[in-house]
Amino acid sequence: SQQGEEDPQALSIQEGENATMNCSYKTSINNLQWYRQNSGRGLVHLILIRSNEREKHSGRLRVTLDTSKKSSSLLITASRAADTASYFCATDAITQGGSEKLVFGKGTKLTVNP
Protein backbone atom coordinates (compact mmCIF):
# COMPACT_ATOMS: atom_id res chain seq x y z
CA SER A 1 0.00 0.00 0.00
CA GLN A 2 1.14 3.56 -0.61
CA GLN A 3 1.77 5.45 2.58
CA GLY A 4 2.49 8.90 1.21
CA GLU A 5 -0.22 10.85 -0.55
CA GLU A 6 0.67 14.09 -2.32
CA ASP A 7 -1.63 17.03 -2.71
CA PRO A 8 -2.48 18.51 -5.13
CA GLN A 9 -2.33 15.88 -7.86
CA ALA A 10 -1.52 18.58 -10.40
CA LEU A 11 -0.32 22.17 -10.09
CA SER A 12 0.15 24.76 -12.82
CA ILE A 13 1.91 28.06 -12.11
CA GLN A 14 3.75 30.86 -13.88
CA GLU A 15 7.50 31.17 -13.94
CA GLY A 16 8.74 33.11 -10.93
CA GLU A 17 5.91 32.00 -8.66
CA ASN A 18 6.35 29.66 -5.71
CA ALA A 19 5.06 26.09 -5.81
CA THR A 20 3.93 24.23 -2.71
CA MET A 21 3.25 20.51 -2.61
CA ASN A 22 2.05 18.55 0.39
CA CYS A 23 2.49 14.97 1.47
CA SER A 24 0.57 13.08 4.14
CA TYR A 25 1.50 9.69 5.53
CA LYS A 26 -0.04 7.19 7.89
CA THR A 27 2.51 5.58 10.19
CA SER A 28 5.56 6.67 12.15
CA ILE A 29 8.68 7.34 10.12
CA ASN A 30 12.41 7.77 10.60
CA ASN A 31 12.77 10.05 7.60
CA LEU A 32 10.90 11.44 4.61
CA GLN A 33 12.37 12.10 1.21
CA TRP A 34 11.32 14.07 -1.85
CA TYR A 35 12.14 12.97 -5.38
CA ARG A 36 11.66 14.54 -8.77
CA GLN A 37 10.81 12.76 -12.02
CA ASN A 38 10.98 14.32 -15.44
CA SER A 39 8.57 12.78 -17.92
CA GLY A 40 9.65 9.30 -18.96
CA ARG A 41 12.80 9.38 -16.83
CA GLY A 42 14.05 7.95 -13.56
CA LEU A 43 13.64 9.63 -10.21
CA VAL A 44 16.20 12.03 -8.79
CA HIS A 45 16.63 12.50 -5.07
CA LEU A 46 16.04 16.08 -3.91
CA ILE A 47 16.16 16.16 -0.14
CA LEU A 48 15.81 14.00 2.97
CA ILE A 49 14.41 15.24 6.27
CA ARG A 50 14.68 13.20 9.45
CA SER A 51 11.88 12.77 11.95
CA ASN A 52 13.64 15.00 14.49
CA GLU A 53 13.97 17.87 12.00
CA ARG A 54 11.23 20.40 11.30
CA GLU A 55 12.63 22.27 8.32
CA LYS A 56 15.39 21.84 5.78
CA HIS A 57 16.64 23.95 2.89
CA SER A 58 18.52 23.12 -0.28
CA GLY A 59 18.92 25.92 -2.79
CA ARG A 60 15.42 26.96 -3.86
CA LEU A 61 13.85 24.04 -2.04
CA ARG A 62 12.36 24.21 1.43
CA VAL A 63 10.95 21.13 3.10
CA THR A 64 8.98 21.07 6.34
CA LEU A 65 7.95 18.09 8.41
CA ASP A 66 5.20 17.95 11.02
CA THR A 67 5.27 14.52 12.64
CA SER A 68 2.26 15.32 14.86
CA LYS A 69 0.16 15.82 11.73
CA LYS A 70 2.05 13.20 9.72
CA SER A 71 2.59 15.65 6.92
CA SER A 72 5.36 17.31 4.93
CA SER A 73 5.50 20.12 2.42
CA LEU A 74 7.89 20.92 -0.40
CA LEU A 75 8.22 24.55 -1.42
CA ILE A 76 10.00 25.52 -4.63
CA THR A 77 10.68 29.24 -4.71
CA ALA A 78 11.06 31.40 -7.82
CA SER A 79 10.06 28.53 -10.07
CA ARG A 80 11.49 28.05 -13.54
CA ALA A 81 10.16 26.25 -16.60
CA ALA A 82 12.86 23.61 -15.98
CA ASP A 83 11.15 22.74 -12.67
CA THR A 84 8.32 21.16 -14.66
CA ALA A 85 8.22 17.55 -13.44
CA SER A 86 6.42 15.19 -11.09
CA TYR A 87 7.39 15.31 -7.44
CA PHE A 88 7.08 12.35 -5.10
CA CYS A 89 7.42 11.99 -1.38
CA ALA A 90 8.77 8.72 0.01
CA THR A 91 8.70 7.45 3.56
CA ASP A 92 10.71 4.67 5.10
CA ALA A 93 8.90 1.51 6.13
CA ILE A 94 9.71 -1.99 7.29
CA THR A 95 9.00 -4.96 5.03
CA GLN A 96 7.51 -8.22 6.24
CA GLY A 97 11.04 -9.61 6.14
CA GLY A 98 12.31 -6.90 8.48
CA SER A 99 14.23 -4.91 5.88
CA GLU A 100 13.85 -1.21 5.27
CA LYS A 101 12.18 0.05 2.11
CA LEU A 102 10.74 3.26 0.72
CA VAL A 103 7.04 3.77 0.11
CA PHE A 104 6.19 6.34 -2.55
CA GLY A 105 3.11 8.48 -2.98
CA LYS A 106 1.36 9.05 -6.31
CA GLY A 107 3.07 12.36 -6.90
CA THR A 108 2.24 15.95 -7.78
CA LYS A 109 2.61 16.92 -11.41
CA LEU A 110 3.99 20.46 -11.55
CA THR A 111 3.83 22.56 -14.70
CA VAL A 112 5.69 25.87 -14.75
CA ASN A 113 4.59 28.04 -17.64
CA PRO A 114 7.15 30.44 -19.15
Partner 1 sequence: DGGITQSPKYLFRKEGQNVTLSCEQNLNHDAMYWYRQDPGQGLRLIYYSQIVNDFQKGDIAEGYSVSREKKESFPLTVTSAQKNPTAFYLCASGYRGGNEQFFGPGTRLTVL
Residues in contact with partner 1 by CB under 8 A are 1-2, 4, 30-31, 33, 35, 40-45, 48, 88, 92-93, 95, 97, 99-107
Please report how close the Cβ of residue 16 comes to partner 1 at its closest, in angstroms.
28
Cβ atoms 37, 107 nearer than 8 A: yes
> Would you mind telling me the total number of residues written for the chain in this entry?
114
User: Is omega for the bond preceding 114 within 30 degrees of 0, making it cis?
Assistant: no
CB of 78 to partner 1, least distance (A): 25
Output 15 or 37, the one with its CB closest to partner 1.
37
* Residues 64, 55 contacting (CB under 8 angstroms): yes
